[in-house]
Amino acid sequence: MIMCTERRGAGALLVMVLVLLGVLAVAGGAASVQRSGTGRTYGRLVDGRLLLDAGDAALTEAIAHLRRSADGAGALPGVCEDDWRVVLAGAFLTGAPRATGRVVHPLRARASFAAQGIAIGDVRVDVVVAYPGLAAPPSGQVALPRQGVLELAVRLEGDRPLLGRSARVVRQRWIFYATEAPGAKGRHLLTFVLPPHPLGTVIE
């Protein structure tokens, strides 16, 4: 009888120890899951926003280079090898029947985001729509502005452990084009306008 009681006592203790370990495991696991979960959520939030910002910065810088080139600076060595005044004039003449796939190098955006572990590729620029008709207006008149759509795309890669993937940011922008009356030397004045606000953004 005494042995039976001792066994019961030992069994009760064993059950208590097991319950204690179980509760500790559940509590510890819950705290660990909570801590890693909140940290991971925060990391994903920041990395996702960084990714978007890097894409936005690269495409915005590309637009600045395109504007400068189309405004008369021509090709920008190391940044933009094409003269976008010529490219856009050609696109409006032909109606941009196929993608041109020209490239702009967003050097400043690349440098800005490299410290945060995001690698920015080259920006590919296509004139996806351009309403044709480059004929000069009659003397003394100004033609209505014509419009087209540029598509800019950039691929981003992150070396941050929580990012761990690449993304492609695509954005479209209106482009307006106007032909003014011939100048004194008989040359037409061309104006290209790239508004600052995009039509929309897609992240793939």
Partner 1 sequence: MRRGLALVEVLLAAGLLAALGGAVLLMTGQSVDALRVDRVRMGAEELCRATVERFGRGEDNLQARLSPSVEAGVLTGENLWEQMPEVYAAMGFPRAAEQARRDGLAMKVRLRRGAEPGLDVLTCEVAFRATRLPERVVYTRFLLHDHVH
Contacting positions for partner 1 (CB under 8 A): 1-2, 5, 9, 12-13, 16-17, 20, 23-24, 27-28, 30-31, 34-35, 38-39, 41-42, 45-46, 49-50, 53, 56-57, 60-61, 63-65, 67-68, 71, 108-109, 112-113, 116, 191, 193, 196
Closest distance between partner 1 and the C-beta of residue 144, in Å? 17
Closest distance between partner 1 and the C-beta of residue 26, in Å? 9
| Rounded Cα distance, 156 and 119, in Å | 6
Residue 131 token pair: 């309403």
Closest distance between partner 1 and the C-beta of residue 19, in Å? 8
Closest distance between partner 1 and the C-beta of residue 149, in Å? 17
Maximum CA pair distance of the chain?
Answer: 122
Torsion of CA 171, 172, 174, 177, to 10 degrees: 100
| Rounded Cα distance, 143 and 145, in Å | 6
Question: Looking at beta carbons only, is 27 or 99 nearer to partner 1?
Answer: 27
| Rounded Cα distance, 141 and 118, in Å | 50
Residue 112 token pair: 């800005």
Question: Looking at beta carbons only, is 97 or 183 nearer to partner 1?
Answer: 183
